[in-house]
């Protein structure tokens, strides 16, 4: 339960500590939703594919840039947060 509360607290601290990353991420998501909406209204049949690729792309980008394997480990997350 402590781990869940810690990660929940991290989610609430993220917009305040890293406002630029928070805003870029949410503008990206709104862009993906907007592009999907426009493609669906035009009648393109591959709008669902664009939506799926758009949502999976940030995860692939993080893995490509070296997402730590222990990113969800409670103790290592606390050590990383306390050091920063």
Q: Ranked by mean pLDDT, which of 27-31, 43-47, 61-65 comes out on top?
A: 27-31
Query: Is pLDDT at 84 greater than 80 in this prediction?
Result: no
- Mean pLDDT over each residue of the chain, to the nearest integer: 85
Calculate ∠ Cα 39-40-45, nearest 5°. 90
The CA R_g of the chain, rounded to the nearest whole Å, is 17
Residue 1 pLDDT class (50, 70, 90 cuts): confident
Return the domain boundaries, the chain. 2-83
* Region 19-27 average pLDDT: 92
54: closest CA among 37, 41, 68, 71?
A: 37
pLDDT tens for 55-78 read 999 888 888 888 777 766 778 777
- pTM (two decimals): 0.69
């Amino acid at each position: 339960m402590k781990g869940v509360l810690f990660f929940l607290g991290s989610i609430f601290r993220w917009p305040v500590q890293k406002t630029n990353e928070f805003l870029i991420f949410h503008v990206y998501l709104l862009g993906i939703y907007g592009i999907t909406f426009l493609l669906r209204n035009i009648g393109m049949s591959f709008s669902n594919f664009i939506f799926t690729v758009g949502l999976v792309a940030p995860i692939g980008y993080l893995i490509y840039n070296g997402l730590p394997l222990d990113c969800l480990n409670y103790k290592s997350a606390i050590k990383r947060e306390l050091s920063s």
